[in-house]
Structure 1
Amino acid sequence: MRVHLVTGAGGLVGRAVTARLRARGDRVVGIDRNASGDGQERVIDCDLRDTHRLHQFAAGQGLDTIIHCGAHSGPMVARDNPYDLVAVNVVGTANVLEVARIHRVRRFVNCSSVSVYGSTKAGPVPEDTALHPGTVYGATKLAAEHLATAYAREHGLDAVSLRLSWVYGPNRTTSCLLRRMVADALEGRPTRVEWGADFYRQYIHADDAAAALVAAVDAPSVARRVYNVTGGSYQTLAETAECVRRVLPQAEISLAPGRDPGDDVQHRFDISAAEQDLGYVPAVALEDGIRSFAEALKMQSR
């Protein structure tokens, strides 16, 4: 039985990764600074900045892989505390990489973000595009990528980073316009936004993100150190709102033209490398994902 350390196991992506690995019989040591659950599903309390505690949980486990999902999870999180963004996303990643090096794990899979690109020119956008992150968050994810790649080159650690687009799903708790649209519709509130009708955003369901990360765990070898991973769709927020209305006809959504003032302007990302090397193909269509998202929110409100 393979043993994996999953950081951020209580979060949106980490939870989905943990569930997928356990469902096939693997053992997961799941850590998060917001511990939860009990029994087999228990997530252990551990801050990425606590190096001694990280090594304590890794020692004697016979770890095969580390899947590093732990981080401040988007440019909207900790925006007013950039120092903590760096401490968690950069120093925290360095700490976990040290665990991987010292305990000689077979592979280190890093959960990165398309925020490393900043705003892009015409797509499709491949992985070797010049990177100009427009946020501190994006800069921290790029720094984490560079650390992982440097550990691969200097210390022989087999490390790979997956650049995920906007992740959504039933367990999303941080700010997300798609979640707001769905929640407002379920609660009979209108959604009014002063931007976004013509703004493109690429979503990926947490289950697809987890599938890609596990595919990176399982690949006999990886041909590159970074991969783009999205849900496959590239559409405006107005088109996304139409998907919400098809699932929830009561949804009353009004979007004005203009870009999201807190996000980069990005074009379609090329995911052909992940398809070819990892066998990754998005499985959750956006409308289906919105439907399951709505059902989960209904259950949570009961």
Structure 2
Amino acid sequence: MNVLVTGGAGFIGSHIAEGLLEEGHTVTVLDVMDPYYDTGIKERNVELCRELGDERFEFVNGSITDEELVRDIIASRDIDYIYHQAAQAGVRTSVENPKKPHEINTTGLLNLLQAAADHGVERFVNASSSSVYGEMEYLPYDEDHQNVPQSPYGVTKLAAEHYCRVWTDVYDLPTVSLRYFTVYGPRMRPNMAITNFTSRCLNGKPPVIYGDGQQTRDFTYIDDIVGANLTLLETDAADGEAMNIGSTGNITIEELAEHIIDETGADVGLEYNDAKEADARHTHADVSKANELIGYEPSTSIREGVSQFVDWYRDNREWYEPLVLNS
């Protein structure tokens, strides 16, 4: 099968590309290599895929906002499936510059959907986010929870879900949107809390918590995310649907930092700073819909996953560690 992975040089996209290559598929990655974080990490991701896939792997340096390029890739490579992971990420970043996520996450998505429909793509899998929920009414979030995004990023992700549904209903393009809940694991973005806490601890500095530390997150290990995506190669269930892809539970940020201190053996305490604008207070996924439709069952708890990540970090510290740690 010929598969296009947009954003495939990034954290989640590269792991999905690896999973596809391991199953014998031909993979094209489209990524603009935006220096939103260290592009050296992205380059390493591409090389890992190239080594794994050899002639079954191709990397194209370009943007989903380039409509002509998108159409050429889908048509010339006879793409069967699209895993759309490309996005301008970052809730806080979107507050500072709302136009960029709109251009990439909305206009870029439309370029892909239209080209996919025109060329008879079999399925379009869209990476969505728990940010579509916004203000909490109850936990865990199920898919019937209100959607009131609190950031421009969340708005673009909710709009993308609706566009996907419409392209299924109106243009007969099978689509599925997976609402990821804070994904982590090897090669994750270095500006995320787990990486930042681990970096600081291994360098003898205390983790910095924004807010009181009692905010909670549903952290989802990358292997569970990849598993959910690859399952969609095997079933035509869930067309036009959006579903949560979360973990086995949630944890307070304070507990997370303390667990990382324990795992690293650092002799440090905790530091606190002002809460960040637009950050959700709590997230926690009800994954019963995904379980019913695609058999999704998260397998890695946050404590198990963090332990695995710290071990991986130690082994890859030389090339992966962020160049600048927060003061």
> TM-score if structure 1 supplies the norm length?
0.92
Tell me which residue corresponds to 1:182.
198
CA 197–97 in structure 1, closer or farther in 2 if over 3 Å, else same:
same
Distance in 2, matches of 1:240 and 1:164, equals 19
Q: 1:58, 1:99 within 8 Å by CA — same for their partners in 2?
A: yes
CA 185–267 in structure 1, closer or farther in 2 if over 3 Å, else same:
closer
Distance in 1, matches of 2:262 and 2:182, equals 21
Tell me which residue corresponds to 1:206.
222
Could you list the per-position Cα deviations for residues 91-121 of structure 1 after superposition, in whole angstroms to 9, with x for gaps in the alignment?
A: 0110111121011111110000010010211
Q: 1:244, 1:251 within 8 Å by CA — same for their partners in 2?
A: no
Q: Does 1:166 align with 2:185?
A: no
Q: Does 1:263 align with 2:279?
A: yes
Q: 1:167, 1:203 within 8 Å by CA — same for their partners in 2?
A: yes
Aligned positions of 1:111-190 closer than 5 A = 111-190=127-206
Distance in 2, matches of 1:92 and 1:224, equals 19
Q: Secondary structure at the match of 1:217?
A: coil
Distance in 2, matches of 1:183 and 1:42, equals 33
Distance in 2, matches of 1:207 and 1:173, equals 16
Unaligned residue ranges in structure 2 (runs of 5+): 34-41, 319-327
Tell me which residue corresponds to 1:11.
10
> RMSD of the alignment, in Å?
2.1
Q: Secondary structure at the match of 1:145?
A: helix
Q: 1:118, 1:265 within 8 Å by CA — same for their partners in 2?
A: no
Shift of 1:20: 0.7
Tell me which residue corresponds to 1:23.
22
Distance in 1, matches of 2:203 and 2:235, equals 43
Identity of aligned residues (%): 26
Q: Secondary structure at the match of 1:155?
A: coil
Shift of 1:254: 1.3
Aligned positions of 1:69-84 closer than 5 A = 69-84=85-100
Tell me which residue corresponds to 2:112.
96
Tell me which residue corresponds to 2:305.
289
Distance in 1, matches of 2:276 and 2:258, equals 18
Shift of 1:56: 1.4
Distance in 1, matches of 2:298 and 2:274, equals 28
Tell me which residue corresponds to 2:322.
none
The one of 90, 95, 107 aligned to 2:123: 107
Q: Secondary structure at the match of 1:218?
A: coil
CA 112–204 in structure 1, closer or farther in 2 if over 3 Å, else same:
same
- Code of the residue aligned with 2:288 in structure 1: it is S
Q: Secondary structure at the match of 2:93?
A: coil
Could you list the per-position Cα deviations for residues 59-118 of structure 1 after superposition, in whole angstroms to 9, with x for gaps in the alignment?
A: 232322111000012313344221111000000110111121011111110000010010
The one of 68, 74, 82 aligned to 2:84: 68
Q: Secondary structure at the match of 2:244?
A: strand
Distance in 1, matches of 2:119 and 2:173, equals 11
CA 214–188 in structure 1, closer or farther in 2 if over 3 Å, else same:
same
Could you list the per-position Cα deviations for residues 41-60 of structure 1 after superposition, in whole angstroms to 9, with x for gaps in the alignment?
A: 55321201001111111123
Could you list the per-position Cα deviations for residues 167-204 of structure 1 after superposition, in whole angstroms to 9, with x for gaps in the alignment?
A: 11221225212211111112221223352421111111
Tell me which residue corresponds to 1:228.
244
Q: Secondary structure at the match of 2:12?
A: helix
CA 218–251 in structure 1, closer or farther in 2 if over 3 Å, else same:
farther
Tell me which residue corresponds to 2:61.
45
Distance in 2, matches of 1:201 and 1:257, equals 18
Q: 2:5, 2:83 within 8 Å by CA — same for their partners in 1?
A: yes
Distance in 1, matches of 2:119 and 2:87, equals 21
Q: 1:3, 1:28 within 8 Å by CA — same for their partners in 2?
A: yes
CA 31–95 in structure 1, closer or farther in 2 if over 3 Å, else same:
same
Q: Secondary structure at the match of 1:128?
A: coil
Shift of 1:261: 3.9
CA 107–253 in structure 1, closer or farther in 2 if over 3 Å, else same:
farther
Q: 2:210, 2:272 within 8 Å by CA — same for their partners in 1?
A: yes
CA 56–196 in structure 1, closer or farther in 2 if over 3 Å, else same:
farther
Shift of 1:277: 1.1
Q: 2:209, 2:273 within 8 Å by CA — same for their partners in 1?
A: no
Tell me which residue corresponds to 2:32.
33
Shift of 1:256: 4.7
> TM-score if structure 2 supplies the norm length?
0.86
Q: Secondary structure at the match of 1:4?
A: strand
